[in-house]
Chains A and B, each alone.
Chain A
Amino acid sequence: MLRLEKRAAPSRFWTVVTPILAVVATMLAGGLLFALLGKPPFEAIRVIFWEPLFGANTAYTLPQLLVKAGPLILIAVGLSLGFRAGIWNIGAEGQYIIGAICGAAVALAFYPAAHWYIFPLMVIAGGLGGWAWAMIPAILKNRFGTNEILVSLMLVYVAENILSWVSFGPLRNPQGYGFPGSRNLQNYPSAHNADLIPNSGLHWGVVTAFLAVIAAYVLLNRHRLGYQIRVAGQAPRAARFAGVSPQRLVSFCLGTSGALAGLAGLFEVAGPSGQLSPDFNTGYGFTAIIVAFLGRLHPVGILLAGFLMALTYIGGEMAQLSLNLPSAAIQAFQGMLLFFLLAFDVLSNYRIRAKENAK
């Protein structure tokens, strides 16, 4: 029999090696799946992992990796702070929606005026919107001890209904022939979150994501608050004795992750997506939770995990194109990748030992 022995600190070696192992294992299992579906397994794997990075159209696909990974990284970095401290915000999807609505509402209130300050105001509104939505579970937790996992999840559904309502109601495009959805902000220069360098995929949201990664790294390694977050997660009782205010941490972690999710929503609605519609949210808030864990809650890890996730989306589309793989196969493949990454993580946190004598 084998047993697991917890390591005092996660193994650096395995932390680096396990993701690679997981990807390899996914390639094997995924290849088997594709073969069962009657598709050439090696070709499929090559298309998914290689084509977007080194294929014929990298001038397009590489920037798209940024576009797809940006919001995932931005949200996941915020979430990881709370997750480290044992504060579980799983309602980022809702904060993302509210951020987008607030930001778009500011833009549409000014429409069609042209001012330099409109976009900055939108950014502030988006961040504040997400922050406020996340402060609901924070305040309820601090005031009443209400479980933040559940409140933040419930608020996702509330946010989705609000999105549906504004898309059909107050923010509907008056020139849209009665169809739901707002004006397209891409056609409103003062509000458009365009690529900073044309066709680079590098818009303000991606820049903010990179800044967030750096800020989180500095916070966790250099700042007292970061230290408190880590202690609170590893030894909650010790943290209390050390003078860490749990309530302040809850407000900080939920508020920050909400603000970042709100920003991600704002940058998306003002940029790549362009308009609010009832189906505006495509699950970034939930996918980001997975990204946060794939990145082992470490800012740099999250950066890489975000790109890996984006790669499977874009490569998956290419595989649909060139091999007629159904989208369901890509979904199942992504699921496998996540399973393997989560499963192999055990190696970085635990040692596997043979059981000497079973008691």
Chain B
Amino acid sequence: MTIGGIDLVVLIASLMVASTPILLAAIGELIAEKSGVLNLGVEGMMIMGAICGFVAAVHSGSPVVGFFGGALGGTAMALLFAFLTQILLSNQVATGLALTLFGLGLSALIGQGYNGVRPPQTDNLNFGPLTQIPVLGPILFQHDWVVYLSLALVAGTWAVLRYSRVGLILRAVGENHDAAHALGYRVRTVRTLALMFGGACAGMGGAYISLVRVPQWSDGMTAGAGWIALAIVVFASWRPWRVLLGAYIFGGVTVLQLRLQAAGIAIPVQILSMAPYLITILVLVIMSARRGRAAIGAPASLGRIFHASS
């Protein structure tokens, strides 16, 4: 199946891989924001995940251990953020920005001596004959395990938010922390756990870049992926399946424009690169206009400091 000289099946298969880091980071950030915390430090958590995952994988020789290491690195950063914003009640926007600055610096320090080292390879899962199915084979059955994990996380997040008590509590805390507190929920604990989940996901996303996509360590290698993840959460209006869609669109636009170029089609690169952000703004406007003035789609307590005064 080709359109304009581009094989759609191949395109989809490769944009899935290209989008996995931002998908992981975005699904984590979604949970954090659902609980009412805006963590702008995704980039910092991702880059720490990238280096911690890399170091863990190189020393253990196992990419699986590497991804655990990445998740740990991201979680540690998230805990730092949680300590500052939940216990010491610092401003979330400023703390998030500081987290990114700190993460970029610290990761480069840890990474000294790892330039040029090659990590153990992450192989595709073997689905045997399923791989050979036309169209579906390459799209669904020729990836490494992290791609499937990211999809499972989307499904899991959706199910938890929608059907479970945990999801209910999370949403309650994010919508109105004072009411949730009055109902006896422990707002800070819930938020800290949500942040840790976000950090673990961002860390795995970073590790996916250093262990699978590139795979190598170089300073600042996430190159802004964390910021894109933030945009995706907004684009998705805080819904898991739309995060998947958003990540694949954001990742897909990059892959598509490169592929169009490779196929010899001239395209205005800058216009295509800014398109996802303009679309995100448009989505936001439509969403907020449709719901009326009171509800703006975002969790109502997003970014606000919670302090139990009673």
Residues of A within 8 A of B (CB): 4, 6, 37, 88, 90, 140, 143-147, 149-151, 153-155, 157-158, 161-162, 164-165, 286-287, 289-290, 292-294, 326-336, 338-339, 342-343, 345-346, 349-350
Q: Contact at B274–A334, with CB atoms within 8 Å?
A: no
Q: Contact at B105–A146, with CB atoms within 8 Å?
A: no
Q: Report chain A residues within 8 Å CB of B273.
A: 161
The answer to whether B90 has its CB under 8 Å from any CB of chain A is yes
Closest to B231 in A: A154
The answer to whether B6 has its CB under 8 Å from any CB of chain A is no
Q: Contact at A331–B105, with CB atoms within 8 Å?
A: yes
The answer to whether B172 has its CB under 8 Å from any CB of chain A is no
Question: Within the assembled complex, what's the spacing in Å between the Cα atoms of A146 and B234?
Answer: 11
Question: Within the assembled complex, what's the spacing in Å between the Cα atoms of A149 and B307?
Answer: 22
Q: Contact at B309–A343, with CB atoms within 8 Å?
A: no
Question: Within the assembled complex, what's the spacing in Å between the Cα atoms of A219 and B60?
Answer: 60
Question: Within the assembled complex, what's the spacing in Å between the Cα atoms of A161 and B276?
Answer: 12
Interface locus among B106-114, B148-156, B196-204: B106-114
Q: Contact at B296–A145, with CB atoms within 8 Å?
A: yes
Q: Contact at B278–A335, with CB atoms within 8 Å?
A: no
The answer to whether B303 has its CB under 8 Å from any CB of chain A is yes
Min CB distance A147 to B, Å, is 5
Min CB distance A144 to B, Å, is 4
Q: 1/0 per position for B91-103, CB-CB distance to A under 8 A?
A: 1011101110111
Closest to B293 in A: A145
Closest to A140 in B: B285
The answer to whether B280 has its CB under 8 Å from any CB of chain A is yes
Q: Contact at B309–A6, with CB atoms within 8 Å?
A: yes
The answer to whether B219 has its CB under 8 Å from any CB of chain A is yes
Question: Within the assembled complex, what's the spacing in Å between the Cα atoms of A286 and B274?
Answer: 19
Central interface residue in B230, B280, B281, by most chain A CB within 10 Å: B281
Q: Contact at B105–A333, with CB atoms within 8 Å?
A: yes
Central interface residue in B84, B90, B227, by most chain A CB within 10 Å: B90
Min CB distance A230 to B, Å, is 17
Min CB distance B40 to A, Å, is 8
Q: Which 10 A-B pairs have the closest CB atoms?
A: A335-B102, A331-B105, A332-B105, A328-B108, A338-B98, A342-B90, A293-B94, A161-B274, A144-B289, A165-B270
Partner of B297 from A147, A334, A346 at Cβ < 8 Å: A147
The answer to whether B288 has its CB under 8 Å from any CB of chain A is yes
Question: Within the assembled complex, what's the spacing in Å between the Cα atoms of A150 and B302?
Answer: 12
Q: Report chain A residues within 8 Å CB of B219.
A: 328
Q: Report chain A residues within 8 Å CB of B40.
A: 90
Q: Contact at A147–B296, with CB atoms within 8 Å?
A: yes
Residues of B within 8 A of A (CB): 38, 40, 80, 84, 88-91, 93-95, 97-99, 101-109, 112, 219, 227, 230-231, 234, 270-271, 273-274, 277-278, 280-281, 284-285, 288-289, 291-298, 303, 307, 309
Beyond known contacts A140-B281, A287-B97: 17 more, CB 8 A cutoff: A4-B307, A88-B93, A146-B289, A150-B298, A158-B277, A162-B270, A289-B97, A290-B98, A328-B104, A328-B108, A330-B105, A331-B102, A331-B105, A332-B105, A334-B105, A342-B84, A342-B98
Q: Contact at B234–A154, with CB atoms within 8 Å?
A: yes
Q: Contact at A326–B109, with CB atoms within 8 Å?
A: yes
Q: Report chain B residues within 8 Å CB of A151.
A: 281, 284
Question: Within the assembled complex, what's the spacing in Å between the Cα atoms of A343 and B307?
Answer: 15
Q: A145-B293, A161-B273, A331-B104 are in contact. Are A339 and B109 (CB under 8 A)?
A: no
Q: A144-B289, A332-B106 are in contact. Are A155 and B90 (CB under 8 A)?
A: no
Partner of B98 from A140, A144, A339 at Cβ < 8 Å: A339
Q: Contact at A350–B89, with CB atoms within 8 Å?
A: yes
Q: Report chain A residues within 8 Å CB of B295.
A: 145
Q: Contact at B284–A147, with CB atoms within 8 Å?
A: yes
Q: Contact at B109–A289, with CB atoms within 8 Å?
A: no
Question: Within the assembled complex, what's the spacing in Å between the Cα atoms of A293 and B274?
Answer: 30
Question: Within the assembled complex, what's the spacing in Å between the Cα atoms of A151 and B109?
Answer: 34
Question: Within the assembled complex, what's the spacing in Å between the Cα atoms of A25 and B84?
Answer: 15
What are 25 inter-chain pairs, A to B, with CB distance below 8 A?
A: A88-B303, A140-B281, A144-B285, A145-B289, A145-B295, A149-B303, A150-B298, A151-B284, A153-B231, A154-B278, A155-B277, A162-B270, A287-B97, A290-B97, A292-B94, A328-B219, A331-B101, A332-B105, A335-B98, A339-B98, A343-B84, A345-B88, A345-B90, A350-B89, A350-B307
Min CB distance A352 to B, Å, is 11
Q: Contact at A335–B90, with CB atoms within 8 Å?
A: no
Q: A151-B281, A289-B94, A350-B89 are in contact. Are A144 and B105 (CB under 8 A)?
A: no
Q: A149-B38, A342-B98 are in contact. Are A154 and B277 (CB under 8 A)?
A: yes
Question: Within the assembled complex, what's the spacing in Å between the Cα atoms of A165 and B270?
Answer: 6
Q: Contact at B109–A334, with CB atoms within 8 Å?
A: no
Q: Contact at A346–B90, with CB atoms within 8 Å?
A: yes
Closest to A165 in B: B270
Q: Report chain B residues within 8 Å CB of A343.
A: 84, 88, 90
Q: Report chain B residues within 8 Å CB of A158.
A: 274, 277-278
